Chain A
Amino acid sequence: MDLIIGGAYAGKLTYAVKEYGLSQGSLFDLANGLPAPRSAPCCLYHLEAFTRACAVSSMRAEEVAAALAPFTDERHVVIVSREIGCGIVPMDALERAYRELHGQVLALLAAKAARVVRIFAGIEEVLK
């Protein structure tokens, strides 16, 4: 699995589509939950929406990573996620838990990924 991170609207999905030659039908918005596992190349984006739902359900990072494993264990999968940790850590307990969980999940995925790229204003930076 390859991982692409970056700020909101930085051009992450545009980059993924171009870099991996993905068709519209192979892009899955995780705000709609996990799709069925696929054997063809595909991209799961808005990981931050998925981890938010997981935070609401009080899941731990390892549980989230296990739920994503059918995808993240595969070489043909690209995961796209916003970075969300560069604002002020909020007072609200759920908001704090969300940032904590998202950061831990990204670290687990990055450790597992073959390649990690950060997109800044549409420009790639290879982190791994």
Chain B
Amino acid sequence: MIILIIGGSKSGKSHLAQRITKALAGDGSPVCGPMIYWATMEPTDGEDRARIEKHIADRAGWGFETVERGRDIARLPIPCSREASVLFDSVTALVTNELFGGIGAGTEPDAEDAKRRSLEGLIRLSESVRHFVCVADDVFRDGFSFDGMTETWRRALAEVVRGFAEHADTVLEASCGLAKVRKGVMTPLYEEEK
């Protein structure tokens, strides 16, 4: 199954994605197929590194292997088996990296190319594994007009999210750790031991 989860910051979407990935990987049985946590953030400061530590602590003991790759997933070999269930975190970071990664200060990013690479990469990866769960940030309902670069990023992210929503079997909107079905049917959720 291919699942896209969209939510505001701190809406619990990553944790929801973890529960869904684990439930899908297990297919109802206690023995799970391989699970991959696909990390995309390219940390630039201590705050980023602290956020990564929080995510690592949050999935300790869940049985995920970690893959770290934040861009170029449309071209590079895929480092996991066809049997894997992949939690891809996140579409937001992927688009950011494809747009701004590797370009020098003052260089104009190529938004069309970044969008194409992001969407092609997501589709390719999602078709290459057993289950694919990814998360994206909802940053689209604010009233500010942003500077050119921020707006270019916001638009690129929205268009990649829309494109992948069309491709996905299920689209969920996350809010306070709960899911509202926007497309398809609700997926199973792994129940944590209290």
Partners in one complex: yes
A86 touches B182 (CB 8 A): no
**Could you tell me which residues of chain B, from 1 to 18, have a CB within 8 Å of some CB in chain A?**
4, 6, 8
Q: Is B158 an interface residue (CB 8 A)?
A: yes
Return chain B residues, CB-CB under 8 Å to A102.
143
A122 touches B155 (CB 8 A): no
Least Cβ–Cβ distance between B87 and chain A, in angstroms = 19
Q: Is A123 an interface residue (CB 8 A)?
A: yes
A9 touches B158 (CB 8 A): yes
Q: Is A37 an interface residue (CB 8 A)?
A: no
Return chain B residues, CB-CB under 8 Å to A8.
140-141, 154-155, 158
CA distance A123 to B161 in the complex (A): 11
A121 touches B165 (CB 8 A): yes
Least Cβ–Cβ distance between A9 and chain B, in angstroms = 3
B140 touches A10 (CB 8 A): yes
Return chain A residues, CB-CB under 8 Å to B6.
120-121
Q: Is A63 an interface residue (CB 8 A)?
A: no
Least Cβ–Cβ distance between A25 and chain B, in angstroms = 24
- The residue of chain A having its C-beta at the shortest distance from the C-beta of B8 within the complex is A86
Return chain B residues, CB-CB under 8 Å to A99.
143
A86 touches B142 (CB 8 A): yes
Q: Which positions in A face B, CB cutoff 8 Å?
A: 6-11, 48, 82-88, 90, 95, 98-99, 102, 120-123, 125
In addition to A82-B141, A86-B141, 13 A-B residue pairs with Cβ atoms within 8 Å of each other are A7-B158, A8-B140, A8-B154, A8-B158, A9-B140, A83-B141, A87-B141, A88-B142, A98-B143, A99-B143, A102-B143, A121-B161, A125-B182
- A sample of 16 inter-chain contacts (CB < 8 A) reads A7-B140, A8-B140, A8-B158, A9-B155, A10-B158, A48-B143, A84-B141, A85-B141, A86-B8, A102-B143, A120-B6, A120-B173, A121-B165, A121-B171, A122-B162, A122-B166
Nearest 5 A/B pairs, CB to CB: A7-B140, A87-B142, A84-B143, A9-B158, A86-B141
